[in-house]
Structures are given as structure tokens and as C-alpha cells.
């Protein structure tokens, strides 16, 4: 009996991620498969749930709603800040990404949305927030996780 994907199992998958327009957003093609510890929150919840019970060799196509992926767009995460917030940065242009700390001290990626004189509009939402995600997945391998992997919460 082959091992099935479930908690405390390491699954290795090849995947292609597209949006609803068919644009490829990410893929493991041409690279090593993505190995993750199931049940440890290493991948988005919707994809993790879709993989439960699958075995090596399984293929699936699954569409993940934003609430089971990177969440909905949170308007409060789009803010206008003064240019002084970017001390030491001479050129600020839309699309630039920066690391910033949120009020809880967590590192958060922000994207510059627009620049107007001394005001910069930034967005701290995940770039895929609010986006329905389409995964084409092939399960390459399924194995028991080691005690150390389970204790650390990720694959070694």
C-alpha cells in the first residue's frame, strides 16, 4: 500500500500556478519538485487540503479561492506615506518592493503603487491577495517525515 498525503508526511510536487487569464504565475518546471511538510502550514491551505489522500503519481487540477490562498485584498493595507519614510532611497517608482516591519514587528513586503510629489502610496497586501489561483499538480513522491522535520515544522 503506498503512502498517502496527510499530516506529518513529506510530499514532493511539481506544479504550475496560473491565474484565471491563463498567465503562469509560478512553476516548478525545470527545477526540483517542491517538497513540503504536510500539516505544518508550509503551503497555502486550499492546496494543502486538495492534496490530502493523494499518492505518488497522482495528478490534479484545482482552483483555490482567495480566502483559501493569500486572502482577500485588505484596503487598510494600502496607505499613503510621506516620502521621508523612504530615507536613503533616491529614486522611488511604482512597482518597487521594500521590506518593512508591521506594528507587530513582523517583516512585511510592501509594493509602491504610485508616487506623487511627497506622497507615496504603498500596498502591503500579498501580490496574490484577492486572486483565484489555478494549480496543475503532479505528486512526485510521498514519504514519512523524520522526527526532526516534524519538530522543526519543515522539510530538511
Q: Give pLDDT tens digits along the chain (156 positions).
A: 689 999 999 999 999 999 999 999 999 999 999 999 999 999 999 999 999 999 999 999 999 999 999 999 999 999 999 998 888 888 999 999 998 887 788 888 999 999 998 899 999 999 999 999 999 999 999 999 999 999 999 998
Architecture per CATH, 9-70+129-152: Roll (3.10)
Domains of the chain: which residue ranges?
9-70+129-152, 75-123
Sheet holding 119-123, edge to edge: 78-82, 119-123, 107-116, 97-101
The CATH number of the domain covering residues in 75-123: 2.40.10.330
Q: How far apart are CA 78 and CA 101, in angstroms?
A: 15
Amino acid at each position: 500500500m503506498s503512502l498517502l498525503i496527510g499530516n506529518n508526511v513529506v510530499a514532493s510536487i511539481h506544479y504550475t500556478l496560473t491565474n484565471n487569464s491563463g498567465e503562469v504565475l509560478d512553476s516548478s518546471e525545470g527545477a526540483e519538485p517542491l517538497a513540503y511538510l504536510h500539516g505544518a502550514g508550509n503551503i497555502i491551505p486550499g492546496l494543502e487540503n486538495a492534496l490530502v489522500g493523494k499518492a505518488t503519481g497522482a495528478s490534479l487540477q484545482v482552483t483555490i479561492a482567495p480566502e483559501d490562498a493569500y486572502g482577500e485584498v485588505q484596503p487598510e493595507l494600502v496607505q499613503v506615506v510621506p516620502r521621508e519614510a523612504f530615507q536613503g532611497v533616491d529614486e522611488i517608482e511604482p512597482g518597487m518592493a521594500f521590506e518593512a516591519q508591521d506594528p507587530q514587528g513582523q517583516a512585511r513586503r510592501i509594493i509602491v503603487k504610485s508616487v506623487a510629489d511627497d506622497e507615496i502610496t504603498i500596498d502591503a497586501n500579498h501580490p496574490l491577495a484577492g486572486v483565484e489561483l489555478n494549480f496543475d499538480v503532479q505528486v512526485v513522491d510521498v514519504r514519512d517525515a523524520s522526527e526532526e522535520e516534524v519538530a522543526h515544522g519543515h522539510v530538511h
